[in-house]
Structure 1
């Protein structure tokens, strides 16, 4: 059992079948040998027979298998790893982004600046398992997605999910799901196999309430031609993944539930886990809306905004390096102007897809390509061009690190050391690149306009809405720029 979990509080959530805690922890039942999500509809077990684990990997490591009824591996992830800034949380974000698959435990430890032994001890002390067990649980989840949503041969599924051998794949699936891979495919509820060739269709779950249409509208309003596409309902974009570019199309769940439908076209199937993790971060699917709304809704200045848009999310970028460059391009220009400049940069330096997918033609240029590029045709001022080049060089050399496991304070400080990047730009990268839930944008004109409407000051707001200031920013942007949001205007918006 995780040392940070309160057994009494966890059991209360289980007895009330409270779906808000799904993904926060897992309930293991000694008499059945299974682990469940807190909202599992099965009969509530006796308190003396349950244990609680903060990760599915820890429950699996203790010998429990996943419940077939509530499917605990299909819940949103724990919001804790996005909120916290310590080494364990950073490790969890990197593992979710596939770092163990790419660089092994040595690579994970090196990215965090710890020895393998130190990192293992930290994870075991808090979670009960080490990085290999956590990565194994992620491989099992990726395997389930491929088994249930494709007709791929099992051998292809095994290696695409990251297993070293078919035997390891078979053993892990049986241990985790108490079914063979073939039985798991046969038992898949509502499987969506048989779609367009080469395309996977997945349901990405969120905690309710979740307005997928609003999140996608925000992303679509910033869409860069060639990289992104928006048709009023579906947002599509190119993802730059470790083993080649991918295209994802995202649309609100057709059943109106707290979910988004993702249709993925991958260069390499082994990038599925990374693609899902980055889409979840982009859509802010793992947030805890109840915790956010409890704090912000209690403030008289924000109460009406929160009531009008419960469960507000912060749309992020699947690639923080890309977001940093786009933030520089967007300095002191309109959204339309930023899209134009970014489109020119994409055409000049971006990586062309082997074949266009609709209007999508390029992946965003990586830092190494940008650092050596001639940006004269992009239309930037000399100072802005030098800032982009300096930022790209710093990202390429590792002087600025914005990966999933980056230390956020260090990242912001290193960004501000780049000539031409000030507090607003660095904060925007933290908010939409690093998905930090507690960021304020100093000097943002739209925020100042909204604050004036609400009778608050910039200085006051910078401290009063911790630890959810990023969500306060989105509420205030909606007040100032309603065209980027789906929510209905409030009566007092006439002043904006």
Structure 2
């Protein structure tokens, strides 16, 4: 979009927040870059330059605006609905792969050479993987500086910098302030949090956002010991590369409040990325709803509660296991099966409210005795085959996975049919066009709305909803009287 100068200028002049994260505006007379909705008086069009990423603007020598904080805008929705190599790379960078494994590790995940990845990212985003990861580290550093009382050395380490000097130079270059000056700017009115491992932050999103199905679904299907609804917040445990965390997510009209308790600060960026992915916060609801609203049968549903998101997951392997547990049983039965696995094989943590365990990883589940599973032999086979494939990396469901290859690999496993594949594609892979025409809730909604009743006919009718069929499913589910459609009582 950044190449459509006329459209970008109009967005900046109207301070249109819908385009925050889609592109960044640099001002040649001031040397700063902003989000489109920056509250300052818009510059003259001839003084504007547009960039596809914050990293590209930084590489061009511009520093972040202190008013609108462009580094904290919602992420580009491009990386959510695309399945190409660049989109997969951006999802992996957000998940911290470059910080953990370097550019060679990123390239290996994608099946390309480091040189090819550099070329592809530079061509589309104006910056390579190292610059993109550096911009992400800068944002994490600012967050830690402004919201904690941690020593700067701990912040540099937690944000992923290799040295204090690199930390200082990056902060100064990106924000035109030293780390100490950044902290001083917010210290008076916003005291830092006291706990060294507890952080409070705001997760931005593009409006509108309907929290009912988003939080309702997560809470209605919550696994005891791993997830809960408490004090008006959805809370759960997270398994992260360097330790574990407990997160509380509370919806507000203009943001989602996030409280994170981490055992290792190096996991902060990854934890934030996974929480955003869980809540689908980088979606473009205006584009989604505009297309779905064009269908006269869906229009009333969209008008009633616009901005529905697709509830996703913080751990694709965990969700795949839970999808199999939920085959042909009620929500309550699926939760019971999952709770038994957690108690028997999950890693215990120091209890925090009702949270007591991490959901067991595929490696732990691969060694269990199938006879202990309280379901039919055919589903035991499905379960054990799936966890063996996940444990051996035979199936990649991660942030950078190839959606088509993942579907094909799942389809080769016994007992994994279209419903399970598309449910995993929707919530674990994050494919916004995943569609489950055989789902009982979808078929009931289709019948009541006058849509075709058979899966094949409904699939043909739903072609008009592409590429947002996963969102159409959320609107169809919303017609039923089920707890997944209701925001739990505080």
- TM-score band w.r.t. shorter chain: over 0.9
- 1:481 is displaced (CA, Å) by 3.7
Determine which of 406, 419, 430 is the counterpart of 2:401. Answer: 406
- Out of 1, 11, 14, the residue aligned to residue 12 of structure 2 is 14
In the alignment, which of 128, 149, 152 is matched to residue 151 of structure 1? 149
Q: Does structure 1 conserve the Cα–Cα contact (< 8 Å) formed by 2:216 and 2:483?
A: no
Aligned match of 1:318 in 314, 320, 323?
314
Indicate the residue corresponding to 1:294 in structure 2.
290
Contact 1:173-1:179 within 8 A present in 2 as well: yes
| Residue 482 of structure 1, CA deviation | 4.0
SS of the equivalent of 1:321 reads helix
The 5 A counterparts of 1:68-467 are 68-188=66-186, 191=190, 193-195=192-194, 198-212=197-211, 214-231=213-230, 233-253=232-252, 257-353=253-349, 355-457=350-452, 458-467=458-467
- C-alpha distance in 1, partners of 2:461/2:279? 25
Contact 1:241 1:271 in 2 (8 A): yes
The 2-side partners of 1:226 and 1:418 are apart by: 29
Q: Give the Å deviation of 1:213.
A: 5.0
What is the aligned residue count? Answer: 481
Does the 8 Å contact 1:290/1:311 carry over to 2?
Answer: yes
Whole-Å Cα distance in 1 between the matches of residues 231 and 244 of structure 2?
24
Residue 494 of structure 1: aligned partner: none
Distance 1:137 1:81, change over 3 A: same
Residue 271 of structure 2: SS of its match in structure 1? helix
Give 3-state SS (helix, strand or coil) of 2:310's partner: coil
- 1:198 Cα deviation from its structure 2 partner: 2.9
* 1:486 to 2:486 alignment: yes
Do 2:197 and 2:265's aligned partners in 1 also have CA atoms closer than 8 Å?
Answer: no
**Secondary structure at the residue paired with 2:162?**
coil
Q: 1:51 offset after TM fit, Å?
A: 1.1
The answer to whether the Cα contact below 8 Å between 2:122 and 2:128 also exists between their aligned partners in 1 is yes
Contact 1:143 1:158 in 2 (8 A): yes
For 2:352 and 2:370, locate their aligned partners in 1 and report how far apart those are by CA, in whole Å. Answer: 26
SS in 1 for 2:232: coil
Query: Any idea what SS the aligned residue of 1:235 has?
Result: strand
Q: CA deviation at 1:232?
A: 6.7
Distance in 2, matches of 1:435 and 1:246, equals 22
Secondary structure of 1:406's counterpart equals coil
1:214 is displaced (CA, Å) by 4.2
Which residue in 2 is equivalent to 1:471? 471
Q: 1:60 and 1:46, CA in 2 relative to 1: closer, same or farther beyond 3 A?
A: same
8 Å CA contact retained: 2:197, 2:264: no
Of 369-378 and 216-225, more deviation after overlay is shown by 369-378
Q: Determine the structure 1 residue equivalent to 2:455.
A: none
Alpha-carbon separation, structure 2, partners of 1:163 and 1:191 = 25
Classify the secondary structure of the residue corresponding to 2:294. coil
Q: Which runs of 5+ in 1 are unaligned?
A: 488-496
Tell me the C-alpha RMSD between the 2 structures. Answer: 1.5
- How many angstroms apart in 2 are the aligned matches of 1:272 and 1:461? 43
* SS, match of residue 322 in structure 2: helix
Q: Alignment partner of 1:187: what SS?
A: helix
Give, in angstroms, the shift of residue 192 of structure 1: 5.7
459-468 or 280-289: bigger deviation: 459-468
Is the Cα contact below 8 Å between 1:212 and 1:260 reproduced in 2? Answer: no
**Counterparts of 1:193 and 1:320 in 2: how far apart (Å)?**
33
Contact kept? 1:67, 1:177, Cα under 8 Å = yes
C-alpha distance in 2 between matches for 1:223 and 1:359: 12
Q: Deviations over 1:142-172 (max 9, x none)?
A: 1011111110000000010000000000000
Provide the C-alpha distance between the structure 1 equivalents of 2:431 and 2:34, rounded to a whole number of angstroms.
29
Maintained 8 Å contact 1:212/1:258: no
CA drift of 1:102 comes to 1.0
Deviation at 1:195, TM superposition (A): 5.0
Q: Residue 215 of structure 2 aligns to a residue in which SS? A: helix
Q: Report the Cα offset of residue 193 of structure 1.
A: 2.0
Kindly indicate whether the alpha-carbon contact (under 8 Å) linking 2:236 and 2:247 is maintained by their aligned counterparts in 1.
yes
Pair 1:139–1:118, CA change in 2 (3 A): same
| Shift in CA distance, 481/464, structure 1 to aligned 2, threshold 3 Å | farther
